[in-house]
Structure 1
Amino acid sequence: MESRVELFAQIRRDARVDGLSVRALAARHGVHRRTVRQALESAAPPERKPRRGVSWRLDPFKTAIDAMLVEDTTAPRKQRHTARRILARLAEEHRAEELSYSTVRDYVRVRRAQIDVEAGRRVEAFVPQEHAPGAEAEVDFGEVWVVLNGVKTKCHMFVFRLSRSGKAIHRIYPTQAQEAFLEGHIEAFNEIGGVPVKHIRYDNLTSAVTAVLFGQGRQRVENDRWVLFKSHYGFDSFYCQPGIAGAHEKGGVEGEVGWFRRNRLSPMPAVECLDELNDCIRVWEEADEHRRISDRLRTIGQDFEAERPFLAALPTETFDPGLVLNPRVDRSSMVTVRMVKYSVPARLIGRKVRVSLRASEVVVFDGRAVAARHQRVAAKRGQSVQLDHYLEVLRTKPGALPGSTALALARASGTFTSAHEAFWAASRRVNGDADGTRELIDVLLLHRSMDAGDIQAGITAALQVGAVSADVVAVEARRHAARVPLGGASFDRHRRAQEEVNVQRVVSLTQRRLMDPAAVIAGLPADARPLPSMSTYDELLAKRTEHPVEPGTASKENIS
């Protein structure tokens, strides 16, 4: 569709070249004669008159609206007029029945800002900021919902964002307590390979701030453990103004929380555990490095590579982010941490142990050695029980195993497999309930030093020949572990030779005796050795008969 400028140019050219009249030009171009006269008078089309619309209906009520907005300048923030409330008052007090909501809304949006300026109130405006590379970062928490093991669960997303490049680290925890706060920092520092050299911006989180000192600027009373953490990693904190007034001071991470939640966590992710979800997030973060923020020319990854050299180096010593507790082990070999019970080895019953309560796990120490490690349970009154912690007790009390909570949870988690069930059933048939259960417990004890896959292979091999013995399982598990290559060159050199050997690894001697001696039983050749002879021993007996020795006598030569 041609523009009015082109139309005017064609009319003026036809009038100049062909000498057509106004009527003829109007007929040729399909326009009104008034348009032809406008084109002949000026090459520039006249400006169109603005559409009047219905805003003129608001003119009689503008004075009343302005009065309401002036009143709002001294009213509490949460009790000011909205455009909908203004429309309702105009209808009630001024009989303004023909006004629409959109007409009032558009006028209030513009007029409120003008009245605020006239009243001397501060107008919110954003000033672009320049951040030095490697100098600053921002941290915040955001709520997210996750379908965790089939249950809709409220979790908390820790977000760390470098102010210069926009490189962001996201981790989801079941809580936003101090242990999650510190663990999120450690994850972020390890991912970016350094620490900001100037400061990190925060809200007034209770994980870091004990009290806000109003009237003293940005002074805060900080938590002692938070002070220790900052000193360990060598960075300073910058606290934003409390409430909405300080939200813009770390607008980068505020926007990152919303963007990641909308684009990566919608719809709600369904996972078995939070570790699985955090592994997915690491993949998403790598993909986000190819994204451009707003109108930047370079990607996040390109800007981060330029910023990385300016970060401070990480400390050589590690920092335990967990909250240290010292509960006592009860008679059930369990400790209570935040209203949740966790099992520990039975040898620790009655003793106090050191517990590191972390964001996603609970670690129990016996001295400096790790005695137990559990995934943190989010539900109150919950429990986490490991069968391995009770094996020594069950060895002396085998009758307690079938109905134990530890066994039920081991079955539910899949650590007590069908191979264990089959071995237990076969062992009880052969050895009886008590001794058969003890053989099973000896097999379970092998898991402390051997791989679970090797033990299952050993159980399978033992059951094939009816050998329900933990010793046989151990031998076959070691053979299976030695047969599987672990990357060593010495094994690879003889792989073909080992593949050619296809023999049954466990031999039943009872089966061998019952079968034909000439047949190859269990992969072994026929036993062609002669039967053992006792003739040599018979000669010794004969000599003893020829020279009997009277009881109670001895030769003088043998008396010293």
Structure 2
Amino acid sequence: MELFAQIRRDARVEGLSVRALAARHKVHRRTVRQALVSASPPERKLRQGVSWRLEPFKVAIDAMLIEDTTAPRKQRHTARRILARLIEEHGAEELSYSTVRDYVRVRRAQIDVEAGRRVEVFIPQEHAPGAEAEVDFGEVWVVLNGVKTKCHMFIFRLSHSGKAVHRIYPTQAQEAFLEGHIEAFNEIGGVPVRHIRYDNLTSAVTAVVFGQGRQRQENDRWVLFRSHYGFDPFYCQPGIAGAHEKGGVEGEVGWFRRNRLSPMPAAESLDELNDRIRVWEAQDDRRRINDRIRTIGQDFAAEQPFLAPLPAEVFDPGLVLNPRVDRSSMVTVRMVKYSVPARFIGRKVRVSLRASEVVVFDGRAVAARHPRIVAKGGQSVQLDHYLEVLKTKPGALPGSTALARARESGAFTSAHEAFWAACRRVNGDADGTRELIDVLLLHRSMDAGDIEAGITAALGVGAVSADVVAVEARRHATSTTTSAPGGSGLDRHPGAHVEVNVQRVVSLTQRRLMDPAAVIAGLPPDTRPLPSIAVYDELLAKRTEHPAGTASKENIS
């Protein structure tokens, strides 16, 4: 991709010909033409290997290699001799030398280790403060909302102090990988200055370049992330052979799973479980690793000043997608539907798919936020996204999925139910539902507790108006702020704190009674005299004395 970009740039800026571009970049002219046609390189055809031809003969090869474990050193089978015996004894005419050689090179070392001929020696290492860290994922099982669920634990461990950060996510995709790093960097307050050790996770590595040391082909987003935070990766050897190169985090996975996650923890959500893990990590700061003199917390306090500072800008770890909003005001992300405000129907929106949540943006503003659902075919629906539509179609509210989900989550409380019932009894189904929707719209600008208190106060005086609920909710919010310790009302004049007995607001226009003679509950009798309009009658008399078209004496003078 970088080569194509350079070719296209040279052609655009310098106007070089195809032949000149091929000579400069040392590629075929066909490659130059492909770069000029498209910025994306064409997909390569997958090469079908020939190692499958070796499958029927692996048992025979293993037997020869096992025989070599007891044979004299200078009389062991070479790859060429093994191929010759396979042709003579098993008729393996189609096998090539390179296929046999590659298999023998790997399998001979494994058989030697199994026979005890080779002993792995681990050399103790010293890690400078703030220089290195290790990262890994581990599988864990938790009881999530009553259901046994397989999750993935991200572990970040500083090599010097052993300070570790653990976070559990529903997936180990790249968004969880990046979000785990951000959580860890924020927790320790910095970034290792030398490198961080990894195995060859697909979230970071797209291909292992064999024969060139530890060189890897990295994911573009991963390159952008580590460039943003300013650290270098260190990739371990592929397979089990590289596990000892990050043995600290490998041991941390097992220790934390045995000591903190056994038996399986039960939680209502992963956020609740991760909050519990933060408490456990604070307790682990008092633990000593093996025979160390100081605790993890003491070593980390000495190591933290050596970490590189965090960047000022925030990195969005989510995978950016641009789905289109369907007619149900929902977007489909990874085979799961999430609701968005109805005004986006038919438009494409920007979605940030994160490890534990899905965020929908309208420009730079957040339009919707949902907890991420892993189960395919699931739905996450919020009632607030459909309120404007339901106000024109009030009959669709009782059986709507959004209302059912709001009841399950507890957002639609018993106070809302009572208000809705009273509204329908007084105003009818359609108008009563619209009045309820006006109350639900108040949640966008007011606290839920204040609105619930406003509903209770309005029902207490027999009022079924959203305006009354709004007034009472604001009054409750003001009284709570004024009486709260340390609130904004403490710096006011002492007389402002004197409680005043104020009559609650009662709506008369929205209250319709079957019996006009009935007295509205909560209203005192009106003993005031009827108003007089005598003053206005005097104005009528003056108008008669000076009809239109004539001027008064005052005006003439």
TM-score, normalising length: structure 2: 0.74
**Residue pairs, 1:72-111, within 5 angstroms:** 73=69
Number of aligned residue pairs: 444
Q: Following the alignment from structure 1 to structure 2, what is the Cα–Cα distance between the partners of residues 438 and 495?
A: 42
**Which residue, out of 545, 549, 555, partners 1:554?**
549
Equivalent residue letter for 1:471: D
Q: Shift of residue 122 of structure 1?
A: 3.2
Q: Following the alignment from structure 1 to structure 2, what is the Cα–Cα distance between the partners of residues 455 and 272?
A: 26
**Secondary structure of the equivalent of 1:484?**
helix
- Say if 2:386 is the partner of 1:390: yes
**Residue pairs, 1:413-492, within 5 angstroms:** 413-485=409-481, 487-491=486-490
Q: Shift of residue 334 of structure 1?
A: 0.4
Kept after mapping to 2: 8 A contact 1:420/1:459? yes
**Residue pairs, 1:175-254, within 5 angstroms:** 175-254=171-250
Q: Following the alignment from structure 1 to structure 2, what is the Cα–Cα distance between the partners of residues 477 and 441?
A: 16
Q: Shift of residue 219 of structure 1?
A: 1.1
Q: What CA deviation, in whole Å up to 9, does each residue of 1:445-501 have, x standing for no partner? A: 000000000000000000111110011101111101100025335347678975754
Aligned position for 2:318: 322
Q: Following the alignment from structure 1 to structure 2, what is the Cα–Cα distance between the partners of residues 217 and 401?
A: 63
Equivalent residue letter for 2:232: D
Q: Shift of residue 126 of structure 1?
A: 1.5
Aligned position for 1:271: 267
Give me the CA root mean square deviation. Answer: 3.1
Q: Following the alignment from structure 1 to structure 2, what is the Cα–Cα distance between the partners of residues 377 and 506?
A: 44
Kept after mapping to 1: 8 A contact 2:468/2:507? no
Q: Shift of residue 543 of structure 1?
A: 5.0
**Which residue, out of 350, 359, 372, partners 1:354?**
350
Q: What CA deviation, in whole Å up to 9, does each residue of 1:423-443 have, x standing for no partner? A: 111001111111110000000
Q: Following the alignment from structure 1 to structure 2, what is the Cα–Cα distance between the partners of residues 375 and 297?
A: 43
Equivalent residue letter for 1:455: I
Q: Shift of residue 127 of structure 1?
A: 1.2
Aligned position for 2:532: 533
Kept after mapping to 2: 8 A contact 1:503/1:523? no
Aligned position for 1:505: 504
**Secondary structure of the equivalent of 1:159?**
strand
Q: Shift of residue 523 of structure 1?
A: 9.6
% identical equivalent positions: 84
Q: Following the alignment from structure 2 to structure 1, what is the Cα–Cα distance between the partners of residues 276 and 303?
A: 25
Q: Shift of residue 537 of structure 1?
A: 3.1
Relative distance call for 1:541 and 1:499 in structure 2 (3 A) is closer
Kept after mapping to 2: 8 A contact 1:290/1:301? yes
**Secondary structure of the equivalent of 2:193?**
coil
Q: Following the alignment from structure 1 to structure 2, what is the Cα–Cα distance between the partners of residues 220 and 490?
A: 61
Q: Shift of residue 120 of structure 1?
A: 9.8
Kept after mapping to 2: 8 A contact 1:465/1:508? no
**Residue pairs, 1:117-128, within 5 angstroms:** 121-128=117-124
Q: Shift of residue 321 of structure 1?
A: 0.3
**Secondary structure of the equivalent of 1:421?**
helix
Q: What CA deviation, in whole Å up to 9, does each residue of 1:25-64 have, x standing for no partner? A: xxxxxxxxxxxxxxxxxxxxxxxxxxxxxxxxxxxxxxxx
Equivalent residue letter for 1:555: T
Q: Shift of residue 528 of structure 1?
A: 7.0
**Secondary structure of the equivalent of 2:277?**
helix
Relative distance call for 1:132 and 1:499 in structure 2 (3 A) is same
Q: Following the alignment from structure 1 to structure 2, what is the Cα–Cα distance between the partners of residues 169 and 362?
A: 23
| Structure 1 gaps, min length 5 | 1-66, 76-114
Q: Shift of residue 302 of structure 1?
A: 0.1
Kept after mapping to 1: 8 A contact 2:463/2:506? no
Q: Following the alignment from structure 2 to structure 1, what is the Cα–Cα distance between the partners of residues 280 and 303?
A: 21
**Residue pairs, 1:164-175, within 5 angstroms:** 164-175=160-171
Q: Following the alignment from structure 1 to structure 2, what is the Cα–Cα distance between the partners of residues 471 and 180?
A: 45
Q: Following the alignment from structure 2 to structure 1, what is the Cα–Cα distance between the partners of residues 276 and 535?
A: 76
The 4+ residue runs of structure 1 with deviation greater than 2 A are 67-75, 119-122, 485-511, 513-516, 521-524, 526-545, 553-559
Q: Following the alignment from structure 1 to structure 2, what is the Cα–Cα distance between the partners of residues 213 and 540?
A: 100
Kept after mapping to 2: 8 A contact 1:504/1:523? no
Higher-Rg structure is 1
**Residue pairs, 1:516-531, within 5 angstroms:** 530-531=529-530
Q: What CA deviation, in whole Å up to 9, does each residue of 1:244-276 have, x standing for no partner? A: 111111000000000000111111111111000
Q: Following the alignment from structure 1 to structure 2, what is the Cα–Cα distance between the partners of residues 426 and 73?
A: 89
Q: What CA deviation, in whole Å up to 9, does each residue of 1:171-193 have, x standing for no partner? A: 00000000000000000000000
TM-score, normalising length: structure 1: 0.74
Q: Shift of residue 506 of structure 1?
A: 3.3
Kept after mapping to 2: 8 A contact 1:116/1:123? no
Q: Following the alignment from structure 2 to structure 1, what is the Cα–Cα distance between the partners of residues 68 and 285?
A: 46
- Say if 2:311 is the partner of 1:312: no
**Secondary structure of the equivalent of 2:127?**
coil
Q: What CA deviation, in whole Å up to 9, does each residue of 1:289-321 have, x standing for no partner? A: 000000000000000000001000100011000
**Which residue, out of 118, 125, 129, partners 1:133?**
129
- Say if 2:276 is the partner of 1:280: yes
Equivalent residue letter for 2:550: S
